[in-house]
Amino acid sequence: MKLVWSPEIAAKALVDTVKSCEVFEGSSVAEIVSAMAAGWNAKLIVETWSNGDVTTTSIGLAVASTHTGGRHVCIVPDEDSKSAYAAAIQKAGMAAEIIVGEPEAAVKGLVIDFLVVDGRKNNFGRRIKVAKFGIRGAVLVCKNAGVNLTADLTLRSLFEGGLRRIVRSVFLPVGKGLVKKH
């Protein structure tokens, strides 16, 4: 069994994300990430987030999880980030499970279908390396790719030991929107 693409569910998630992000200025990459998570029917969607990061991607992931009947888990580094994240996601009428701690420890025991990491964060490659992916495979998304891409992330390192099945991987060189406002 593998992850199977559903354009219908992807389109519904994209439209719902646009509507949900209207309360924010711009939607960052939320629409495409939401469509990807929903379209691949991800049952466990995991992201990392820190205080001050854009929350629209999180809203998109929450929307996707409602379309797939899955779980949306956000890993934050501290209680301040947890409070800020919860307030922002609640403002959009969404919800997510929030785990406080280091991503490396927080992903242990989780079998992930869809993982979103931020290329600006230190050691994000290690966060991917310790993640356990489902038997159907997984979709990996790195937003802000190229901003501060660390040497410890190579595609080869993702497949060490041959025990990982990646269905898709995407490096998005954007973080504040696909179209910049002037």
Q: What is the pLDDT of residue 26?
A: 60
Which fold, 7-172?
Rossmann fold (3.40.50)
Cα distance between residue 156 and residue 154, in whole Å: 5
Q: What is the pLDDT of residue 158?
A: 52
Residue with tokens 């993702």: 158
Cα distance between residue 170 and residue 142, in whole Å: 6
Is pLDDT of 86 > 80? Answer: yes
**Once rounded to an integer, what is the mean pLDDT over residues 43-54?**
88
Domain boundaries, the chain: 7-172
**Sheet containing strand 97-100, strands side by side:** 97-100, 71-76, 44-48, 114-118, 138-143, 166-172
Query: Token pair for residue 74?
Result: 């956000």
37 phi, psi to nearest 5 deg: -65, -45
Cα distance between residue 70 and residue 147, in whole Å: 31
User: What is the torsion angle, in degrees rounded to the nearest 10, for the CA atoms of residue 45, residue 40, residue 158 and residue 53?
Assistant: -40
Q: Per-residue pLDDT tens for 2-30?
A: 677 888 999 999 899 988 887 666 666 88
Q: What is the pLDDT of residue 172?
A: 53
What is the share, in percent, of the chain residues with pLDDT greater than 90?
29
Q: Which residues does 52 contact at the CB level (< 8 Å), separation at least 6? A: 84
159 phi, psi to nearest 5 deg: -110, 15
Q: What is the pLDDT of residue 123?
A: 54
Say if residues 75 and 45 touch (Cβ distance below 8 Å).
no
Mean pLDDT, the chain, whole residue set: 77
